[in-house]
């Protein structure tokens, strides 16, 4: 398989789901079995993606990205910009194939799961068509090699998530949720668009590689490092919206109104991962300040939803907040410079979170669409497979050794710890550990309440049953993928495993050394001096800059810090995870504490968490309230001032119109009547010609031809 | 009496064409209109053959005439189907009374 | 006054007279039979012009196919019990004037042009071979397309008439 066949395979994988969508949406209503076509299509795509994954990682792991582009628009010479061309293209590197595999696998499993889960729905084939277009738009994001195509598919993902979340649009809450998701995403996308335009106006290209090369050459937006930071943050705004980061995270819990497999697809592997993927793609051009901003956003989004998840009672809401929290982790990891761990966590999280959502789907299916965990309990015996898989996922998300989650989470925590040691921002490490504790607690609260104890709703419990094989097999596959062995041979240290050491490599940063984090630069005394006197000694600085750019991103100091942080971080994270699980065990199995009394004691905090920190209320009162106030002011302005002016002008107009009326009546009307009579006479004449008979027209045509012949010859 | 040349044939074909045209524009019955159309096509065919003969390139003109005949066959089949349809809808085939185009 | 000339005038008379009857007679059946005569005359013209194959095709297709088709049309669209199948004409006067003018223009342009006439070429001995060669070489694509077109016309006519 060479580069060209890779590109061709990528195109096939990209457009197969679109084909599935087109066929299924057009003919699905007439041919009920056509959803199988879509399922078959996604299976083929999965097969090709696995093949591409193996070939790329086995033979081309160290090769440069495969790229192919074509000229899409050539605007020629444009004033102020110069020569403008827009290229579209495909880029395939290790990140791409990993992400491709994740998307295809989860999408395929969701397809299989949905066959059973959605059975009997009246828009059955349309559902599969939507899954197809969603997969298509997500794959577009994965394959793109430029920002413009990324933006196009970004919006397509927004559209298809709108369709899927609002799939049961008869429910008001579902249609509201889809609108909320769409609009909230738009806010983030606005920032992203601004960033893209800023980049295009500076570099005249959308291609990642070209942008990075120009930044490396020292060209910056508006010639200042500040604007480079701003561009990075603006682009990241798109990720804030899509990945449901603070403060735009409010849409994701509401989006649980969609069918449960859709939640697994959108909120585990694809749509929310798109934000992280974007950040991964633009990582080399992010400056130190931008990364710090990203880390702060990540930490906030990791912490706030984790506290909210403690008190929720809807099984899907808990998972939703847990998703935001874990995405916050990834973003934070990228922010503290732990590129590889951030992306690694994206992959591991995709598997176990998709599993959790599908598992909750299995539970909901068994309980006949009951989502409140207070109505469940004791389901362990009724749903053994779901239970076992669920426990494995929960162990993974809590970060217990031997699971994939442990590897990635531990890596993130260690990096945050090392980052704290190097820069003094210890808050990220503290947040990380705290969130790990909370995560372990609420996940096992969920398990204990749902699967253990006595059934709380005897009637529903009696009717519960294990889901059919089409639903449990995906669960088993995802549970197997949550085991460490797929990523590294050493269950305690991912850094040495093949995933991180050879597959995911941190790309070298392209921003000038003075704008990076300190620890990303090699500590050399003369370099520090030169970069301080950057302006005076331009040639020398450039020389050193060039030398520095060749090195890998992390300095020895950082590697060392990371190494020494590894074991303390591992111990601590293990400790907090076990602590969290144990606390949940005490609370919900042993019942050492009277829960109601305890809740009563911390009532304000409990309510604060239960009401999701009042984000929705806050947004409602501030933004909606602001708009309402503004409209009230405008209303008053309209009623008093504008109306006054209008009234005044009205009385003037009346006076004038009295005069004009007189003129109108005698002079203008006479003229008009005359014209009308004239027109009427013409009409009578012309109506004769308009007989409606083709032959009459033909005679006229012949006559005209004769006239034309005489005119021209 | 002069020798029969190209002009003779062309004049006859022109007249035939004019008759056909006259039939198309004056007849009420749709089938009669079709007959006029056939006359026009025949006139065109005569021209083809005539030019072929007097230009020396015998084959090409005749092939063109052959194509016209084929097209005429297809055209009359379709046209008659349409006429039958009209008859079904309006219960008559007089084109002058079918003036829905005016509405 | 050769046989050629005589035949020319004979055929021309047949064509023009019968064509005139086709477009003027009130009786549809008469018109159809006059059309038959016209087709015969035109076939005779083809023969005079050395296009023997086309003449035969003219007879087979026009007389054997199209005319029968037209007669069927007449029968299907008129009540079969009507003994007098008659039909009128309209806008006769304006049509005569304008078509007359048109034919004048046409004849004028036909006669006043100086056509490029090559030296009297002998009539090919076997036109059929010539036509076959051309059809199968230069015009093969058109030939195939025409076949498809006929098929489509067949299907189309059947589907239109069936409705």
Residue B42 is predicted with a pLDDT of 93
Q: What does the alpha-carbon distance between residue A584 and residue A591 come to, in Å, rounded to a whole number?
A: 9
Are residues C157 and B80, on separate chains, in Cβ contact within 8 Å?
A: yes
Contact A57, A101 (CB under 8 A): no
Residue B59 is predicted with a pLDDT of 79
- The interface pTM score, or ipTM, of the predicted complex is 0.87
Which chains contact C through at least 3 pairs of Cβ atoms less than 8 Å apart? A, B
B98 touches C at CB < 8 Å = no
A639 touches B at CB < 8 Å = no
Nearest to B78 among C49, C70, C157 (CB): C157
CA distance B22 to chain A (A): 9
φ and ψ of A206, to 5 deg:
-105, -10
Q: What does the alpha-carbon distance between residue A698 and residue A30 come to, in Å, rounded to a whole number?
A: 46
φ and ψ of A366, to 5 deg:
-65, -35
CA distances from A42 to A12, A468, A653 (A): 11, 21, 69
| Best CATH choice for the domain B6-91 from the list 3.30.1440.10, 1.25.40.10, 1.10.287.3510, 2.60.40.10 | 1.10.287.3510
Are residues B33 and A692, on separate chains, in Cβ contact within 8 Å?
A: no
Residue A547 is predicted with a pLDDT of 43
Are residues B29 and C150, on separate chains, in Cβ contact within 8 Å?
A: no
Helices (H), B1-103: 6-26, 30-55, 58-90
A688 touches B at CB < 8 Å = no
Q: How many residue contacts between A and C have a Cβ separation below 8 Å?
A: 17
> Residue A386 CB: number of other CB atoms within 10 A?
26
Contacts of residue A690, Cβ cutoff 8 Å, sequence gap at least 6: B102
Contact C86, C28 (CB under 8 A): yes
Contact B12, C45 (CB under 8 A): yes
CA A607 from centroid of its chain's CA atoms: 30
Are residues A699 and C94, on separate chains, in Cβ contact within 8 Å?
A: yes
Helices (H), A166-259: 172-203, 208-216, 225-242, 251-254
CA distance A688 to chain C (A): 13
Residue C17 is predicted with a pLDDT of 92
Are residues B25 and A692, on separate chains, in Cβ contact within 8 Å?
A: no
Burial class (CB in 10 A: 0-12, 13-18, 19+), A204: middle
> Residue A31 CB: number of other CB atoms within 10 A?
13
CA distance C94 to chain A (A): 8
pLDDT band at B102 (very low <50, low <70, confident <90, very high): low
Helices (H), A452-590: 458-463, 469-481, 498, 525-532, 538-550, 556-585
Question: Interhelix angle for A94-117 vs A3-27, to 10°?
Answer: 20
B59-80 per-position pLDDT tens digit: 788 899 999 998 998 888 888 8
> Residue A406 CB: number of other CB atoms within 10 A?
25
Q: What does the alpha-carbon distance between residue A538 and residue A522 come to, in Å, rounded to a whole number?
A: 20
pLDDT lower than 50: segments of chain A: 523-553
The mean pLDDT values, 10 residues at a time, for chain C of 163 residues are 86 92 86 90 90 89 86 76 65 86 89 76 72 88 90 89 75
Are residues A692 and B102, on separate chains, in Cβ contact within 8 Å?
A: yes
CA distance B52 to chain C (A): 9
Are residues A694 and B101, on separate chains, in Cβ contact within 8 Å?
A: yes
Domain boundaries, chain B: 6-91
- What percent of chain A is modeled with pLDDT above 70? 90
Residue C42 is predicted with a pLDDT of 93
CA distance C46 to chain A (A): 28
Chain B residue numbers with beta carbons less than 8 Å from the beta carbon of C121 are: 56, 58
Burial class (CB in 10 A: 0-12, 13-18, 19+), B3: exposed
Chain A residue numbers with beta carbons less than 8 Å from the beta carbon of C98 are: 699, 702-703, 706
Among A638, A477, A517, A597, which Cα is nearest to A113's? A477
CA A707 from centroid of its chain's CA atoms: 69
Chain B residue numbers with beta carbons less than 8 Å from the beta carbon of A691 are: 99, 102
Are residues C94 and A705, on separate chains, in Cβ contact within 8 Å?
A: no
| DSSP symbol at A244 | T
A655 touches B at CB < 8 Å = no
φ and ψ of A555, to 5 deg:
-80, 170
In three-state form (DSSP H/G/I as H, E/B as E, the rest C), the secondary structure along chain C is CCHHHHHHHHHHHHHHHHHHHHHHCCEHHHHHHHHHHHHHHHHHHHHHCCCHHHHHHHHHHHHHHHHHHHHHHHHHHCCCCCCCCECCECCHHHHHHHHHHHHHHHHHHHHHCCCCCCCCCCCCCCHHHHHHHHHHCCCHHHHHHHHHHHHHHHHHHHHHHHC
Model pTM?
0.63
Are residues B4 and C8, on separate chains, in Cβ contact within 8 Å?
A: yes
Residue C86 is predicted with a pLDDT of 67
Chain C residue numbers with beta carbons less than 8 Å from the beta carbon of A696 are: 91
CA A526 from centroid of its chain's CA atoms: 43
Q: What does the alpha-carbon distance between residue A159 and residue A185 come to, in Å, rounded to a whole number?
A: 10
């Amino acid at each position: 398989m060479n580069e060209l066949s890779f590109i061709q395979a990528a195109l096939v994988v990209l457009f197969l789901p679109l084909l599935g969508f087109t066929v299924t949406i057009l003919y699905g209503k007439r041919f009920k079995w056509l959803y199988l076509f879509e399922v078959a299509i996604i299976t083929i795509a999965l097969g090709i993606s696995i093949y591409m994954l193996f070939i790329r990682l086995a033979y081309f792991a160290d090769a440069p990205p495969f790229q192919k582009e074509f000229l899409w628009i050539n605007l020629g010479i444009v004033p102020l910009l110069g020569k403008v061309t827009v290229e579209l293209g495909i880029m395939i590197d290790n990140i791409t194939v990993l992400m491709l595999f994740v998307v295809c696998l989860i999408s395929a499993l969701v397809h299989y799961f949905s066959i059973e889960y959605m059975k009997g729905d009246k828009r059955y084939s349309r559902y599969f068509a939507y899954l197809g277009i969603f997969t298509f738009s997500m794959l577009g994001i994965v394959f793109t090699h430029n920002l413009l195509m990324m933006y196009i598919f970004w919006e397509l993902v927004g559209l298809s998530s709108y369709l899927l979340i609002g799939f049961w649009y008869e429910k008001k809450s579902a249609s509201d949720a889809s609108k909320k998701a769409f609009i909230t995403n738009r806010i983030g996308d606005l920032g992203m668009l601004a960033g893209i335009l800023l980049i295009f106006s500076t570099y005249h290209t959308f291609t990642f590689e070209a942008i990075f090369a120009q930044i490396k050459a020292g060209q910056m937006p508006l010639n200042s490092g500040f604007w480079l930071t701003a561009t990075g943050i603006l682009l990241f705004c798109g990720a804030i919206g899509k990945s449901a980061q603070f403060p735009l995270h409010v849409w994701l819990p509401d989006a649980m109104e969609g069918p449960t497999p859709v939640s697994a697809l959108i909120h585990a592997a694809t749509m929310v991962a798109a934000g992280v993927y974007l950040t991964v793609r633009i990582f080399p051009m992010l400056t130190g300040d931008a990364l710090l901003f990203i880390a702060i956003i990540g930490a906030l989004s990791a912490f706030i939803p984790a506290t909210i998840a403690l008190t929720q009672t809807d099984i899907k809401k808990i998972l939703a907040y847990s998703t935001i929290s874990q995405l916050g982790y990834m973003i934070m990891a990228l922010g503290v410079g732990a590129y590889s761990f951030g992306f690694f966590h994206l992959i591991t999280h995709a598997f176990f979170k998709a599993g959790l959502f599908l598992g909750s789907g299995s539970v909901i299916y068994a309980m006949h669409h009951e989502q409140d965990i207070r109505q469940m309990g004791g389901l362990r015996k009724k749903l053994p497979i779901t239970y076992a898989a669920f426990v494995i996922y929960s162990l993974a998300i809590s970060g217990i050794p031997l699971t994939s989650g442990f590897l990635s989470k531990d890596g993130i925590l260690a990096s945050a710890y090392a980052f704290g040691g190097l820069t003094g921002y210890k808050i990220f490490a503290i947040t990380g550990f705290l969130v790990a504790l909370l995560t372990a607690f609420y996940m096992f609260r969920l398990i204990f309440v749902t699967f253990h104890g006595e059934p709380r709703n005897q009637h529903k419990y009696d009717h519960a049953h294990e889901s059919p094989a089409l639903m449990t097999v995906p669960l088993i596959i995802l549970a197997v993928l949550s085991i460490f062995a797929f990523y590294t041979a050493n269950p305690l240290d991912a850094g040495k495993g093949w995933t991180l050491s050879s597959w995911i490599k941190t790309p070298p940063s392209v921003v000038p050394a003075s704008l990076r984090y300190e620890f990303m630069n090699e500590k050399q005394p003369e370099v520090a001096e030169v970069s301080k006197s950057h302006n005076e000694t331009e040639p020398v600085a450039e020389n050193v800059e060039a030398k520095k750019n060749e090195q890998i991103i992390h300095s020895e100091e950082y590697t060392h810090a990371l190494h020494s942080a590894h074991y303390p971080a591992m111990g601590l994270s293990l400790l907090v995870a076990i602590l969290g699980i144990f606390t949940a065990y005490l609370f919900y199995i042993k019942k050492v504490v009277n829960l109601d009394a305890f809740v009563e004691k911390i009532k304000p905090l409990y309510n604060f968490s239960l009401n999701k920190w009042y984000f929705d209320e806050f947004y409602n009162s501030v933004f909606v309230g602001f708009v309402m106030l503004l409209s009230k002011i405008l209303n008053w302005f309209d009623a008093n001032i504008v109306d006054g002016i209008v009234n005044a002008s009205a009385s003037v107009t009346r006076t004038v119109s009295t005069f004009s009326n007189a003129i109108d009546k005698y002079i203008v009307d006479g003229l008009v009547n005359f014209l009308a009579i004239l027109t009427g006479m013409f009409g009578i004449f012309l109506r004769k010609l308009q007989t409606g008979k083709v032959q009459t027209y033909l005679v006229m045509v012949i006559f005209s031809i004769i006239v034309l012949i005489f005119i021209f010859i | 009496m002069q020798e029969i040349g190209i002009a003779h044939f062309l004049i006859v074909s022109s007249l035939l064409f004019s008759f056909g045209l006259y039939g198309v524009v004056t007849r009420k019955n749709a089938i009669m209109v079709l007959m006029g159309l056939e006359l026009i096509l025949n006139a065109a065919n005569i021209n083809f053959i005539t030019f072929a003969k007097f230009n020396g390139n015998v084959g090409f003109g005749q092939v063109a005439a052959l194509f016209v005949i084929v097209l005429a066959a297809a055209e009359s089949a379709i046209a008659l189907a349409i006429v039958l349809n009209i008859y079904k809808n309006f219960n008559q085939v007089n084109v002058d009374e079918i003036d829905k185009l005016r509405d | 006054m050769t046989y050629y000339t005589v035949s020319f005038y004979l055929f021309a008379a047949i064509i023009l007279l019968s064509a005139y009857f086709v477009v003027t007679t009130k009786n549809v059946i008469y018109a159809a039979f006059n059309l038959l005569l016209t087709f015969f005359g035109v076939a005779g013209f083809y023969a005079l012009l050395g296009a023997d194959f086309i003449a035969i095709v003219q007879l087979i297709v026009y007389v054997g196919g199209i005319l029968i088709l037209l007669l069927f049309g007449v029968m299907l669209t008129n009540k079969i019990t009507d003994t007098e199948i008659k039909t009128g004409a309209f806008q006769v006067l304006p049509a005569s004037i304008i078509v007359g003018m048109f034919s004048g223009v046409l004849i004028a342009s036909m006669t006043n042009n100086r056509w490029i006439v090559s030296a009297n070429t002998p009539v090919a001995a076997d036109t059929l071979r010539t036509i076959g060669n051309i059809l199968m070489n230069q015009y093969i694509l058109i030939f195939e397309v025409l076949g498809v077109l006929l098929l489509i016309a067949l299907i189309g006519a059947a589907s239109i008439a069936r409705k």
